[in-house]
Amino acid sequence: MNLCMNGTIESGIEILRARVEHNMVVKGGNEFCTEWHLADLGNKKFVWLGNITDMEAMGAMLNTPEEVQWDKDNGAVYKVYSMAEMTG
């Protein structure tokens, strides 16, 4: 996994899960996201982890006017972090 989103979703985790699945299948996210996990942390908090092979494509998908409006309409507030594997 190389991308982490940590945030809150006012409309609930299952609404977010449905949106992620929609984005993967309908919007082509599965072309640059080879694996993902969504964890419900309780109290409308979540963590999403994904293995992204094309960061530009991911950024473009997340920043469309439709996606920005969806976030507003559903109370999605999050920060995005890039990650790297630690070897040792």
- Class of domain 3-82 as given by CATH: alpha beta
State residue 88's pLDDT score: 85
Mean pLDDT (the chain) is 97
Mean pLDDT for 36-54 is: 98
pLDDT tens column, 5-29: 999 999 999 999 999 999 999 999 9
Q: Spell out where the chain has E strands.
A: 3-9, 33-42, 45-52, 76-82
Q: How far is CA 11 from the centre of its chain?
A: 15
pLDDT tens column, 75-85: 999 999 999 99
pTM score of the predicted model: 0.93
Q: Give the torsion sign (CA, 68, 69, 71, 72).
A: positive
